[in-house]
């Protein structure tokens, strides 16, 4: 396919392709009018300019995993303007040269080792990088998430404590941006070696979210970390019935405490202390969903686990958490890093030896094992970064909203509390600037609720909002950084509720950008004003040309 394909409302594919992964979107009456299917930089360029010449608003889709309707929905007050979705999912491929002679067609002077197209899905990227170069990126685990939005939003995953965020390694991008001398879009290559506005644009692409400034075509890296050789995978499970509120409080506090006391050793020269290769996903599932579970991936700082004392951090963490729970864990068979999990009750054994109970696997196959995305269904998500330990108010909120019976509509609801920190928090924002301001947190949480029957939508969304209002009741229901306990939210987990004043839908919270970008807000707005002054690339949560 050399030319773009245009899907309109008369096409049999329209009803399917107007949607993304989250079936909540598009909202009724706000559907897009056209979907342009592209498979090359040239077809993207033609598609976007064709749509703009026809007066359409354009949005960008790579993997289609946007949590809100930012891609699929027409904007409030702009229902009259046709919406065209520029679909990049067929624009795939990777180029590698150990000699570092990969270059952009828009700048042949800059040289790189890797070029990755924006339509690649996570698993395609991991598989290609491993087989061609024995490298990887510290990105996410859901196989079908597209590089297009995932990387420019930060690129966070199970190797981030060991290798940082993907944007910390990102060296350059090809991007289509508005032509300030006329209509339409023009191609550019920008990097840290760029100057002025173009350098600022590249920094904005390192964590400033997708679809805010232009259309990223390719990602470039001067180098990437070597892929691990082996890793352990272990999932533990504790039934809700084994906890009282006090026991749960102790368990949560000890989870935070272990990382507080050990995070500084993430890259220690002592293998008995080096824990950067430990990544954990604590799933506080609603009682109607299942148990409290803990998924653990562990590798040594050199990507192996066969050296003397190299597994000591894993053993220490497992014993610490099992002791904190106050009852011996089940060794569960669930291995999905995404969403809710169900223990096969009566078929698991109890924890006896962390190493023997865990599965020692080749890292690539472990990544494939946990590389789930789940089925297309309806979902609502919220997020927050956490610096300090849990308070009584926060534990009360968790106990109240998760330890409920009879809430069958919440049979796919959980708060997933991931480990953070390590290498992420050591990035030098002076010499290696990014748009990510969350560089102090130890934990990173994602509230998730899924449902398959639209009749449950209002109840599930209200439950999510009520939990956030109670959890953050001491600061108006949002994780602002004012008290130095939180660092806001993750832009790749967008939540439109954060844009508005709590309990006042439609009334903009003038500080909402701080939640996602912190002290980077002014830089991102100034760059937006310079690159896209007409606000061509806009959504309900996009970077604006002026402060809210």
Of 68, 87, 106, which residue sits at a domain end? 87
In a domain? residue 277: yes
Tokens of 123: 């698993």
What pLDDT score was predicted for residue 308?
85
What pLDDT score was predicted for residue 372?
79
Are residue 214 and residue 286 in the same domain, yes or no? Answer: no
Of 63, 87, 111, which residue sits at a domain end? 87
Quick one: which H or E segment has residue 36? strand 34-37
In a domain? residue 181: yes
DSSP 403: S
Tokens of 400: 């109240």
What is the three-class DSSP state of 533? Answer: coil
158: how many CB neighbours lie within 10 A of its CB? 25
In a domain? residue 267: yes
Structural domain boundaries enclosing 28: 5-87
Nearest to 57 by CA among 85, 36, 77: 85
Residues 440-452 have pLDDT tens digits of 999 999 999 999 9
Question: Is 342 buried (19+), middle (13-18) or exposed (0-12) by CB count in 10 A?
Answer: middle
Angstrom distance (rounded) from CA 514 to CA 135: 34
Tokens of 24: 């909540």
DSSP 348: P
CATH number for position 205: 3.30.465.10
Query: 167 CB contacts (<8 Å, ≥6 apart)?
Result: 151, 152, 154, 155, 205, 206, 207, 434, 435, 436
In a domain? residue 546: no
What pLDDT score was predicted for residue 307?
87
Are residue 287 and residue 348 in the same domain, yes or no? Answer: yes
What pLDDT score was predicted for residue 335?
64
Are residue 121 and residue 10 in the same domain, yes or no? Answer: no
Q: Are strands 170-178 and 185-191 parallel, antiparallel or unpaired?
A: antiparallel
Are residue 195 and residue 164 in the same domain, yes or no? Answer: yes
Are residue 160 and residue 288 in the same domain, yes or no? Answer: no
Of 47, 69, 87, which residue sits at a domain end? 87
Angstrom distance (rounded) from CA 497 to CA 504: 10
What pLDDT score was predicted for residue 348?
79
Are residue 322 and residue 192 in the same domain, yes or no? Answer: no
Termini Cα distance of the chain: 42
In a domain? residue 366: yes
Angstrom distance (rounded) from CA 254 to CA 323: 10
CA distances, 260 to each of 279, 389, 443 (Å): 14, 9, 10
Residues 463-507 have pLDDT tens digits of 999 999 999 998 889 999 998 999 999 999 999 999 999 878 789
Find how far residue 276's CA is from the centre of its chain: 19
In a domain? residue 505: no
Q: Say how many domains are in the chain.
A: 3
CA distances, 454 to each of 17, 135, 409, 410 (Å): 19, 42, 11, 13
Are residue 111 and residue 75 in the same domain, yes or no? Answer: no
**Cβ-contact 95, 51 below 8 angstroms:** no
What pLDDT score was predicted for residue 486?
97
Tokens of 258: 């272990």
In a domain? residue 499: no
What pLDDT score was predicted for residue 345?
66
Question: Is 11 buried (19+), middle (13-18) or exposed (0-12) by CB count in 10 A?
Answer: middle
The residue ranges of the chain whose pLDDT is under 50 are: none
Predicted model pTM: 0.95
CB-facing half-sphere around the CA of 372: CA atoms within 13 A = 13
- Packed helices 521-531 and 196-204: angle between N→C axes, nearest 10 degrees: 120
Are residue 203 and residue 270 in the same domain, yes or no? Answer: no
Does the N-terminal peptide bond of residue 26 adopt cis geometry, omega within 30 degrees of 0? yes
In a domain? residue 510: no
Are residue 166 and residue 207 in the same domain, yes or no? Answer: yes
What is the three-class DSSP state of 18? Answer: coil
- Which stretches does DSSP call E strand in 136-244? 170-178, 185-191, 215-221, 230-238
Are residue 38 and residue 115 in the same domain, yes or no? Answer: no
Is the sign of the CA dihedral 199, 65, 368, 309 positive or negative?
positive
Tokens of 398: 């968790």
CATH number for position 310: 3.40.462.20
Are residue 303 and residue 344 in the same domain, yes or no? Answer: yes
**C-alpha dihedral over 394, 396, 399, 400, to 10 degrees?**
-110
Are residue 138 and residue 274 in the same domain, yes or no? Answer: no
């Amino acid at each position: 396919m050399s030319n773009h394909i245009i899907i309109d409302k008369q096409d049999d594919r329209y009803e399917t392709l107007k949607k993304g992964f989250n079936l909540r979107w598009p909202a009724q009456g706000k559907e897009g009018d056209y979907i342009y299917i592209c498979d090359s930089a040239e077809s993207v360029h033609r598609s976007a300019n064709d749509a703009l010449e026809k007066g359409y608003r354009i949005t960008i889709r790579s993997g289609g995993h946007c949590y809100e309707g930012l891609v699929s929905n027409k904007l409030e007050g702009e229902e009259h303007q046709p919406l065209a979705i520029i679909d990049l999912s067929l624009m795939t491929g990777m180029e590698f040269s150990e000699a570092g002679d990969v270059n952009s067609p828009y700048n042949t002077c800059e040289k790189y080792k890797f070029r990755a197209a924006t339509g690649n899905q996570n698993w395609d990227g991991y598989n290609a990088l491993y087989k061609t170069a024995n490298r990887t990126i510290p990105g996410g685990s859901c196989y079908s998430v597209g590089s297009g939005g995932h990387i420019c939003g930060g690129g966070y995953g199970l190797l981030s404590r060991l290798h940082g965020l993907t944007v910390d390694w990102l060296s350059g991008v090809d991007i289509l941006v508005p032509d300030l001398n006329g209509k339409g879009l023009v191609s550019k290559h920008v990097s840290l070696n760029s100057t002025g506005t173009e350098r600022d644009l590249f920094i904005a692409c390192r964590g400033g979210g997708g679809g805010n400034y232009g259309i990223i075509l390719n990602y470039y890296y001067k180098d990437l970390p070597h892929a691990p050789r082996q890793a352990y995978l272990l999932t533990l499970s504790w039934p809700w019935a084994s906890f009282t509120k006090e026991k749960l409080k102790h368990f949560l506090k000890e989870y935070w405490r272990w990382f507080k006391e050990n995070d500084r050793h993430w890259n220690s020269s002592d293998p008995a202390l080096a824990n950067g290769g430990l990544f954990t996903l604590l799933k506080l599932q609603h009682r109607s969903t299942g148990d409290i579970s803990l998924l653990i991936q562990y590798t040594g700082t050199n990507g192996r686990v066969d050296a003397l004392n190299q597994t000591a951090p894993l053993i220490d963490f497992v014993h610490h958490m099992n002791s904190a729970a106050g009852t011996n864990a089940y060794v569960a068979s669930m291995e999905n890093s995404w969403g809710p999990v169900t223990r096969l009750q009566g078929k698991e054994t109890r924890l006896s030896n962390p190493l023997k109970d865990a599965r020692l696997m080749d890292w690539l196959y472990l990544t494939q094992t946990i590389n789930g995305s789940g089925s297309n269904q309806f979902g609502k998500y919220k997020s927050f970064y956490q610096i300090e330990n849990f308070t009584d108010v926060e534990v009360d909120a968790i106990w109240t909203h998760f330890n409920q019976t009879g809430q069958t509509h919440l049979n796919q609801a959980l708060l997933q509390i991931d480990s953070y920190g390590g290498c992420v928090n050591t990035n030098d924002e002076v010499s290696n600037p990014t748009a990510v301001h969350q560089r102090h947190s130890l934990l990173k949480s994602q509230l998730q609720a899924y449902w398959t029957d639209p009749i449950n939508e209002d109840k599930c969304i209200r439950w999510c909002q009520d939990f956030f209002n109670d959890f953050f009741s001491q600061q108006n229901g949002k994780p602002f950084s004012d008290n130095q306990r939180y660092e806001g939210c993750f832009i790749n987990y967008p939540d439109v509720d954060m844009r508005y004043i709590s309990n006042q839908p439609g009334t903009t919270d003038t500080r909402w950008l701080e939640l996602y970008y912190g002290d980077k807000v002014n830089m991102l707005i100034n760059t937006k004003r310079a690159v896209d002054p007409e606000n061509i690339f806009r959504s309900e949560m996009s970077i604006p040309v002026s402060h809210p």
